[in-house]
Structure 1
Amino acid sequence: MHLLHDRMRRTIRRYALVPPDGRVLVAVSGGSDSVALAHLLHRLGTLEPFEVVGVVHLHHGLRGAVADGDAEAVEALARDLKLPSHLERADVRALAAERRLSVEEAGRVARLEFFERAAAEAGADRVAVGHTADDQAETFLLRILRGAGTRGLSAVYPRHGIVIRPLLDLSRHALREFLRIEGIAFRDDETNDDLGIPRNRVRHELLPMLRDRFAPGIDAVLAREARLAREDADWLEEAANQVAAQVVEVHEGSVVLDTVELLALPPALASRVVRRALGTLASGRFIGLDHVDAVIGLAQGERPSVSLPGQHANSAGDSIRLTSADAGAASSASPRSSTPAEFSYELRVPGETVVPEAGRRLTAEVADVPDRSSLASGGDEVALDAADLVGPLTVRGRRAGDRFQPLGAPGRRSLQDLFVDRKIARGDRDAVPIVTDSAGRIVWVVGVTIAHQFRVTERTRSVVVLKAR
C-alpha cells in the first residue's frame, strides 16, 4: 500500500496535478480502478496539502438495472469514506442524436460537462479520474492502429483542464491486488469483455500477446513513448501558435489561409496550423489527417475546392477560404454558429497565443508595479497580481458551470449571469476567450473583467500584464 501511495504522490508532484491546498473530487464508476483511486487518494489527502471533498458519478442511462447498481455502489463507497456524493443521470443517446456524435463521444462530453458542474458546486479545483498505465498503453496502440500523429500518440494526458489522472504510473493489476488485500469490493462492467469493441481487443488480445512473445515490460515502454510524443507535440503546438497569425485570418463566418505563407512552413507546423483553422468552423466535428491533407492539397493546386467537416474550402489565387456549411452560419444576422466553439490553448508568460475561434491574439508579460494608477483591470488590457497566479495560463471557451468572483463583486457568480448583466449578445458569448490558471480558476474574461482574487493591491510586487488584440 505504501508503494502505491508513494508512486501516486510522485505522479501528482511531477505533473503538478493539484494546487497547494487544492480541493479534489474523485470520479468513481464503481469499477476497480476508480474505486482504488477513491481509497488511495482519500488516504493520501491526510498526508499531502490537498483535500478530497467528494465523490462524483454520472449515470449514462445506457445499461438499465446494472447501471443503477453501479450508482448505488458508488453512494455506498462515499458513505464508507464519509464523503459527500454528487450523482447525476444523463440521457447519453439523446445527447448523441442532438449533437450528432457517437454514443461513446457523447458519453465523454456528458462526463466532462458534469465534472465542470460538480466542481463548481463543490468549490473543487480538480476532478480525479482512474486512468491507469494500462489505459495509457491501450490508447497508444489504438492510435497507432488508427494512424495518429504525435498529438494523438501523446495518448492520455496527466491533466486536461480540471481533470487529473493520478494513477497513470500504476498498473491495473497492482490496483486490483490492493483491493484484494484490503477486502474492498468493486463492480465489473460486462462491456469490458465485449471483443467487438476495439479497445477490448487491444486489452485482451494484442497487449497480452506483446507481453508474452515480445516484451514483458511493454506497458512501461508504451507509456514512455507516449510521454516523448507528448513533449514533442507540446513544443510543435506552441511553435504553430506563434506562426498562425502570419497564415490565418478569421472573419465573420469564414477563415482565410495565406497559401504562400502556409507552404513556406515546415510540414509539421503547416499541418497544425491547418487543423486549428479547420477547427474554427467544424462545430465540434472530428478533424482528421485526411482533412488536413486535403487543405494542403488545395494549397498545392491539386484541386479547386473540397468539402470538409462543417465547412467548404475553396482555393482562389494565393488564399484558401473556409466557409461554414451549417445553415445560417454565414448570415449577417447570426454570424457565428449556435454550437459553442470548443477551444483551449496554453498562454505562456511571457508569450503570445492566437485564438482563431475568437479572432483574437493574446499576449502575456511580467512587469514591475511602478504606478498602480496606470494599471487596467478591464477591457482588452489588464494587470494581475503575479504572486497569486499558478501558471501556465490557459485560454479557452466558456464551459457549463463556469463561476468566479468578478472584480468588486461581493461573491462568486455564474459566467452566464455576468454575460447577461454586461449585455453581451447571446451569439457572441461562445467566442469570448476565458483565461484560467493551472488550478482551473478563471483569471480574466477577455474584454469584460478580471477575477477579484487576482486584482492588484498595495501588497503587489509584480504583475502579469495580459493584452488582447
Structure 2
Amino acid sequence: MVQNALAQAGYPAHLVVACSGGPDSLALAAVAAYFARRGHVDGHPVTVGAVVVDHQLQDDSAQVAARTAQVLEELGLAPVEVRTVSVAATGSGPEAAARDARHAALNAAAEEQGASAILLGHTLDDQAEQVLLGLARGSGTRSLAGMRPARGKLLRPFLGLRRADTEEICAVEELEPWHDPTNLDPSFARSRTRVEVLPHLEEKLGPGVAESLARTASILQLDADYLDDVAETTFASLAARNGREVSLPEDLLRALAPAIRFRVIARAAADVGGQQPGYQRLLAAEALLRRQGSAGPVELPGGVSVYRLSLAELEAAPAPDGHAAAAAVPRGGARCGKLVFRPQKPPRK
C-alpha cells in the first residue's frame, strides 16, 4: 500500500513519516524503512526521514517522543527529529487543536527536509470512526467522506488496513509500540466510538461494519469532489467583488439546485475570510433569498455578515469605497437583489 501511495504521488525523492510511537504509525515507519534500506521504490530513488511530534499533553510525553525517535533511527530512517508544540485552546476542541498544531509541525519539518510527501498512519478503523462521528453530528457529505488517501503532501497509505494488521506488523518486526492512554479515555467522543460503539455495531450487525463505513467514505469522496467542483465553477461565474465584499445575484442563486446553492453560499463566506458554516447557519443565510426588500445581517462563523440588498438599495446606497453601489451591479446583468457577504474584521496589515 505504501508503494501504491508513493506511485500515485509521483514517487517523491524524500518523504517523512509522522510517528507517535503507536502501533499504526510505528508499523508505517517499519514499512517505509524497508524502502529506505533499498534506496528506491519501483526504481525511483527515495530517502525517508521521520518526525515525532510532542504535544506536551501528558507528563511523560518528552520521554515517549525520545524513545520513539531512537527506534526510528534504529530502523534506519534519517533524519529523525522531535518537534515540540504547544496546543492552544480553541473553540474547535482539544482534538482539532492538537491536529492543527501537529500538521503545522509536520509541514514545517517537511519543508526543512525538502520532503514532498508526509506519511500518516491512519487506518480503516480510523476512517470508520470518522464516518460514525460525522453521522452523530449530523454532518454533510464532505464530513462523511472522511479522510482522503492523499491531500496535498499528506498521504495515508494504510487506510485499507485494519488496526489489527498494524499491530501484527509491529509484532513481526519485534517493535514495542506505545499505547496512547487517551485512546481509552471515555471523555473523548472518538475514544468512546473506538472502544464502545464500533465493537457494539460489529457484535449486533455482524462483522464488516468498519469496512462498510470506510467504503461509504470512499463513495462520498467522489460525490463531494464533484459537487465541490461544480460549486467552485458556479461561484466563479456569479461572484462580483467590490472591495472586500462579495455579492451573488439572488435570481441566479435561486435557480441553482440546493446542493450547489448551499455550497456557493459557503464558498462566498470563505472568500471574504469566513469559516465553514454549519447547516443551520447556511439555512439562515439561504432564507434571505425569500425575504422582501433589504434584510439581514445573518452572522456566519469567522466574522462574516450576510445581507440581502434590494435592487433599489444597491443603486442608491454608497459603497464602502465611497462610490455609488450601483457600480457593483453589472451592466446588462439581472435586475434583482443580491446577497452581499461582508467581513466584520479589518484586513490584516
- Give the alignment's TM-score, normalised by structure 1: 0.64
**1:61-460 to 2 correspondences below 5 Å:** 61-64=56-59, 66-82=60-76, 83-93=78-88, 96=89, 101-283=92-274, 285-301=275-291, 304-309=296-301, 310-317=303-310, 318-326=337-345, 329=346, 336=347, 338=348, 427=349
| 1:366-412 CA distance string (max 9 Å, x none) | xxxxxxxxxxxxxxxxxxxxxxxxxxxxxxxxxxxxxxxxxxxxxxx
For residues 307 and 116 of structure 1, the distance between their equivalents in structure 2, rounded to whole angstroms, comes to: 33
- SS at structure 2 position matched to 1:92: coil
Question: Match of 1:92, as an amino acid?
Answer: V
For 1:138 and 1:250, the matched residues in 2 are separated by 41
Q: Aligned letter for 1:305?
A: P
Q: 1:227 to 1:105 in 2, by over 3 A?
A: same
Larger radius of gyration: 2
Letter of the structure 1 residue corresponding to residue 297 of structure 2: S
Question: For the aligned residues, what is the CA RMSD?
Answer: 1.9
SS at match of 1:320: strand
Distance 1:9 1:20 in 2: 9
| CA separation of 1:50 and 1:113: change in aligned 2, threshold 3 A | farther
Shift of 1:11: 5.0
Q: Partner of 1:236: helix, strand, or coil?
A: helix
2: CA distance between counterparts of 1:239 and 1:58?
A: 38
What TM-score, normalized by structure 2, do the two folds share? Answer: 0.85
Q: 1:197 to 1:75 in 2, by over 3 A?
A: same
**Identity over aligned pairs, percent:** 30
For residues 251-306 of structure 1, what are the alpha-carbon distances to aligned partners after superposition, in whole Å with 9 as ceiling and x for unaligned? 333221211111111111111111111122345x4421222211111112286432
- Tell me which residue corresponds to 1:460: none
Contact 1:59 1:88 in 2 (8 A): yes
Q: Any conservation in 1 of the 2:232–2:267 contact (CA below 8 Å)?
A: no
| In 2, Cα distance between equivalents of 1:20 and 1:308 | 41
Whole-angstrom CA distance in 2 between matches of 1:34 and 1:261? 48
Deviations 1:346-367 (A, max 9, x none): xxxxxxxxxxxxxxxxxxxxxx
Counterpart Cα distance in 2 of 1:163 and 1:268: 28
CA displacement at 1:316 relative to structure 2:
1.3
**Is the 2:14–2:49 Cα contact (8 Å) retained in structure 1?**
no
Deviation at 1:50, TM superposition (A): 5.2
Count residues in correspondence.
Answer: 315
Matches of 1:27 and 1:151, distance apart in 2: 25
SS at match of 2:48: strand
More helix by share: 2
Offset from partner CA, 1:125-148 (integer Å, 9 cap, x none):
101011000001000111011112
8 Å CA contact retained: 1:119, 1:125: yes
User: Residue 209 of structure 1: CA displacement?
Assistant: 1.2
CA distance in 2, matches of 1:199, 1:247: 40
Gaps of 5+ in 1: 1-6, 330-335, 339-426, 428-469
SS at match of 2:49: strand
Residue in 2 that maps onto 1:457: none
SS in 2 for 1:54: strand
Structure 1 counterpart of 2:333 = none
Contact map agreement 1:58 1:88 (CA 8 A) in 2:
yes
1:103 offset after TM fit, Å?
A: 3.0
Q: 1:21 to 1:323 in 2, by over 3 A?
A: closer
Contact 1:36 1:179 in 2 (8 A): yes
CA distance in 2, matches of 1:228, 1:205: 26
CA–CA distance in structure 2, aligned partners of residues 188 and 70 of structure 1 = 10
> 1:32–1:188: 8 Å Cα contact kept in structure 2?
yes
Does the 8 Å contact 1:154/1:229 carry over to 2? yes
